[in-house]
């Protein structure tokens, strides 16, 4: 337990009156600076989450969620399901985590899902290349600022997304040339944009070494982030733990399309675990090796990326950081509506814009502070191998700006590669009202002599020829006219000469009544752990009276427990009423709350009432119902609001009704004040 945590426990145990507060206090959530040590201590003490395998010494990059963390995650996911799957009528999936290697080879992950790593050439210590370069450049800039007598920006206010991945490197006050400072700032603004070779050049040019040992570093090499496994006992079938849920959607596309009666646009959605063998996991839940993702794949006609519900999000305001701004080495953000961003072509199309708006609304709904939320466009090299435009929702926390939701236009990449590999059609068929008439080059093979000439290779050669694009066919036609033959290359490298008596390429007129096309895919991809952690930071503050009295102002919709039921004390007068209200009977108050979907918890422990409230403030419980002497005498309950500590009083049934309405978002506290009487006692002091 940290010293701060000890202070907290001792203070509250020895002096409950330190927890007393008059009701109707004016809350000042920024009375204290964010204290990361106290915050971490709260999360650990209340078991929001903890390192996995802790009693075995732990293993970096794995975390277990405790009761409040699990409930918070489940509630975030419930809001996510309602906001996206239910409201937008998406098709939900639950596909396997273990994925056949062929699938991930085809998608490009086996070859390209990599990060660059460098090694200390003496002791073998491994670093993620971009993170290390970033950390060293930042520390040198900080040293330069110190040498110039300019204070470095305080961590939480740092307007620099780069801080997120920083390995802490100590700075030394050394003044640099102005031109070098400019160059460093430029490199930092586009650190995500560098290839491995470019990172290697920066390391050499700027003499970047292992900050701890001063040893030289190797040239960057690629490290694949997937966990490999074998399926079955023979070891012949290879598999990987999926690094994203997306491929499970794509390989089921044809079934999904049929389920949707062959109509596009539509979306599939999936919540599930993903695995990435990160080079250096760090920063708690932000970079882990196993995490929950929630992904949407929205299939759309590439010729028409309008969205029927665009009007619903066009007025949503986003804080944008477009790529051209970053490529100039700047981080200035612009507030703009979705409608304007799409209208000015800053965001590529309506469907992508629509989802940016929906994601913003979702994050605000669960309690993310919109001032600490921005939408950053990917730069050229930074973009995933499949994406044609990509925006990240980044949330600011004490670690800087962290990507929490990626929104990519994956074009037709995935469906095309899976279709090419499996020879299964992953296409939409659209009946045309007017036939589409056009000219195209057509292949005619003389089947019998062709088969006799090429024997066992005939099928493979034909497959290559039939796979040619129109441009390739035009070339083959010209070759046949000029040389009377063409050479066909098979996948393994073997070459075969096909003469013009076996193949003819002719222009024909086609009249199509059905249009076949591969849809494009717009993908919002959510990392639930990163969102959950950022939300906890945004919700945390300490009471003005005592920095150690932490509160999590989680909105009721996601709070792990919505309502605390507490008897004022262990006084025996309360026992019959407690039994009536709290016993697990069908008609008890707690059962009624639970049936109304309000997770409640009874705390009849011997701790003082102030201490029990404080404990639940730390858990983010928004409301408390107290059984006191008035309850015994008049059948009333007092209702406490977590942030203000304001209390209202009313008949038990009325208080239950108000609590349910508050927790289900049908009522706000100001409306509750009109339904119930103001309570003016000082119940928090026993």
Q: What are the residues binding ligand ATP (CB under 6 A)?
A: 276, 278, 287-288, 291, 293, 403-406, 525, 527, 529-530
Residue nearer to ligand ATP on the CB measure, 62 or 669: 62
Residue nearer to ligand ATP on the CB measure, 403 or 618: 403
Residue nearer to ligand ATP on the CB measure, 76 or 427: 76
Residue nearer to ligand ATP on the CB measure, 280 or 588: 280
Residue facing ligand ATP at closest CB distance:
527
- Closest approach of ligand ATP to the CB of residue 560, in Å: 21
What lies within 8 Å, CB to CB, of 374 at 6+ separation is 319, 320, 321, 333, 393, 394, 396, 401
Measured in whole angstroms, how far is the alpha carbon of residue 162 from the centre of its chain? 17
Residue nearer to ligand ATP on the CB measure, 289 or 611: 289
Residue nearer to ligand ATP on the CB measure, 39 or 386: 386
Is residue 245 within 8 A of residue 272, CB to CB? The reply is yes
- Closest approach of ligand ATP to the CB of residue 349, in Å: 19
- Closest approach of ligand ATP to the CB of residue 277, in Å: 9
- Closest approach of ligand ATP to the CB of residue 126, in Å: 16
List, as one string, the DSSP characters of 54-72: GGGT--TT-EEE-HHHHHH
- Closest approach of ligand ATP to the CB of residue 363, in Å: 12
β-partners of residue 444 are 504
- Closest approach of ligand ATP to the CB of residue 160, in Å: 15
Residue nearer to ligand ATP on the CB measure, 222 or 278: 278
Quote the tokens at residue 32: 């204290």
* Sheet containing 98-100: order of strands: 98-100, 237-241, 228-231
Q: What b/e readout covers 92-112, taking b as 16+ CB neighbours within 10 angstroms?
A: ebebeeebbbebbebbebbee
Residue 382 to residues 158, 191, 192, 216, 391, Cα–Cα distance (Å): 22, 9, 5, 26, 11
Residue nearer to ligand ATP on the CB measure, 336 or 531: 531
- Closest approach of ligand ATP to the CB of residue 405, in Å: 5
List, as one string, the DSSP characters of 333-390: -EEEEHHHHHHTTSSS-HHHHHHHHHHHHHHHHHT--GGGEEEEEPPTTTS-TT-SEE
CA nearest neighbour of 112 among 196, 190, 200: 196
CA nearest neighbour of 394 among 185, 154, 160: 160
Residue nearer to ligand ATP on the CB measure, 242 or 642: 242
Residue nearer to ligand ATP on the CB measure, 385 or 459: 385
- Closest approach of ligand ATP to the CB of residue 61, in Å: 7
Residue nearer to ligand ATP on the CB measure, 101 or 534: 534
- Closest approach of ligand ATP to the CB of residue 553, in Å: 23
Phi-psi map region of 260: left, alpha, beta (phi>0 left; psi -120 to 50 alpha): alpha
Quote the tokens at residue 98: 């273990």
Is residue 414 within 8 A of residue 245, CB to CB? The reply is no
- Closest approach of ligand ATP to the CB of residue 525, in Å: 4
Q: What is the distance between the alpha carbons of residues 125 and 260, in angstroms, rounded to a whole number?
A: 52
- Closest approach of ligand ATP to the CB of residue 638, in Å: 41
Residue nearer to ligand ATP on the CB measure, 120 or 523: 523
Q: What is the distance between the alpha carbons of residues 34 and 552, in angstroms, rounded to a whole number?
A: 12
Asked, as a colleague might, if the bond just before 265 is cis with ω within 30 of 0, I would say yes
- Closest approach of ligand ATP to the CB of residue 403, in Å: 5
Residue nearer to ligand ATP on the CB measure, 39 or 391: 391
The secondary structure of residue 584, as a DSSP letter, is S
- Closest approach of ligand ATP to the CB of residue 384, in Å: 7
Q: What b/e readout covers 474-483, taking b as 16+ CB neighbours within 10 angstroms?
A: eebbebbeee
- Closest approach of ligand ATP to the CB of residue 88, in Å: 20
Residue nearer to ligand ATP on the CB measure, 406 or 560: 406
Number of neighbours of residue 255 by Cβ within 10 angstroms: 11
Phi-psi map region of 244: left, alpha, beta (phi>0 left; psi -120 to 50 alpha): beta
User: Residue 150, exposed/middle/buried by CB under 10 A (0-12, 13-18, 19+)?
Assistant: exposed
Element housing 478 (H / E): helix 470-483
Q: What is the distance between the alpha carbons of residues 428 and 405, in angstroms, rounded to a whole number?
A: 28
């Amino acid at each position: 337990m940290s010293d701060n945590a000890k202070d907290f426990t001792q203070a509250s145990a020895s002096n409950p009156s330190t927890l007393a507060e008059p009701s109707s206090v004016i809350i000042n959530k920024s009375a204290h600076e964010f204290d990361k040590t106290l915050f971490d201590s709260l999360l650990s003490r209340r078991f929001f989450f903890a390192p996995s395998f802790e009693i075995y010494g732990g293993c970096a990059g794995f975390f277990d969620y405790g009761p409040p963390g699990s409930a918070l995650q489940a509630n975030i996911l419930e809001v996510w399901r309602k906001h996206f799957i239910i409201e937008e009528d998406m098709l939900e999936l639950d596909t396997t985590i273990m994925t056949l290697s062929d699938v991930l080879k085809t998608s490009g992950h086996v070859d390209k899902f990599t990060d660059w790593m460098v090694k200390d050439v003496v002791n073998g210590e491994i670093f993620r290349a971009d993170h290390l370069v970033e950390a060293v450049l930042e520390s040198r800039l900080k040293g330069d600022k110190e040498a110039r007598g300019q204070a470095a920006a305080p961590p939480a206010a740092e307007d620099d997304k780069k801080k997120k991945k920083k390995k802490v490197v100590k700075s030394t006050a050394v003044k640099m040339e102005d031109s070098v400072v400019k160059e460093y700032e430029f490199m930092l603004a586009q650190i995500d944009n560098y290839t491995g070779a470019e990172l290697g050049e920066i390391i050499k040019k700027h003499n970047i070494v292992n900050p701890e040992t001063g040893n030289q570093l190797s040239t960057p090499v690629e490290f694949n982030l997937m966990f490999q496994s074998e399926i079955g006992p023979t070891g012949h079938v290879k598999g990987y733990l999926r690094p994203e849920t997306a491929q499970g959607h794509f390989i089921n596309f044809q079934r999904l399309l049929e389920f949707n009666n062959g109509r596009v646009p539509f979306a599939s959605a999936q919540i599930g675990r993903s695995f990435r063998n990160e080079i250096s996991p760090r920063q708690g839940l932000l970079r882990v090796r196993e995490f929950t993702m929630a992904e949407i794949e929205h299939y759309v006609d590439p010729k028409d990326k309008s969205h029927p519900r665009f009007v619903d999000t066009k007025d949503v305001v986003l804080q944008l950081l477009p790529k051209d701004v970053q490529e100039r080495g700047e981080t200035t953000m612009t507030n703009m509506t979705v409608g304007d961003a799409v209208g000015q072509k800053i965001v590529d199309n309506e469907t992508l814009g629509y989802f940016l708006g929906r994601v913003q609304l979702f994050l605000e709904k669960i309690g993310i502070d919109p001032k600490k939320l921005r939408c950053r466009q990917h730069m050229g090299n930074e973009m995933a191998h499949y994406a044609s435009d990509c925006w990240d929702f980044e949330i600011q926390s004490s670690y800087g700006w962290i990507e929490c939701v990626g929104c990519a236009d994956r074009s037709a990449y995935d469906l095309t590669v899976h279709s090419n590999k499996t020879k299964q059609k992953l296409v939409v068929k659209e009946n045309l009202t007017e036939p589409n008439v056009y000219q195209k080059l057509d292949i005619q093979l003389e089947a019998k002599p062709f088969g006799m000439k090429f024997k066992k290779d005939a099928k493979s050669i034909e497959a290559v020829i039939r796979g040619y694009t129109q441009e390739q066919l035009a070339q083959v036609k010209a070759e046949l006219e000029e040389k009377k033959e063409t050479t066909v290359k098979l996948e393994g490298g073997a070459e075969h000469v096909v003469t013009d008596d076996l193949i003819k390429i002719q222009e024909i007129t086609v009249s199509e009544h059905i249009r076949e096309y591969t849809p494009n895919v717009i993908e919002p991809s959510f990392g639930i752990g990163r969102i959950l952690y950022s939300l906890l930071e945004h919700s945390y503050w300490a009471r003005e009276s005592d920095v150690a009295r932490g509160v999590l102002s989680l909105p009721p919709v996601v709070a792990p427990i919505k309502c605390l039921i507490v008897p004022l004390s262990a006084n025996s007068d309360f026992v019959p009423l407690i039994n009536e209200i709290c016993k697990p009977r069908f008609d008890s108050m707690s059962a009624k709350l639970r049936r109304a979907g309000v997770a409640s918890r009874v705390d009849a422990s011997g701790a003082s009432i102030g201490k029990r409230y404080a404990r639940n403030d730390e858990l983010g419980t928004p409301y408390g119902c107290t059984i006191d002497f008035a309850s015994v005498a008049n059948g009333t309950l007092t209702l406490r609001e977590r942030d203000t500590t304001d209390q209202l009083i009313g008949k038990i049934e009325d208080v239950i009704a108000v609590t349910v309405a508050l927790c289900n978002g049908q009522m706000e506290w100001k409306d509750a004040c009109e339904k119930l009487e103001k309570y003016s006692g000082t119940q928090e002091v026993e």
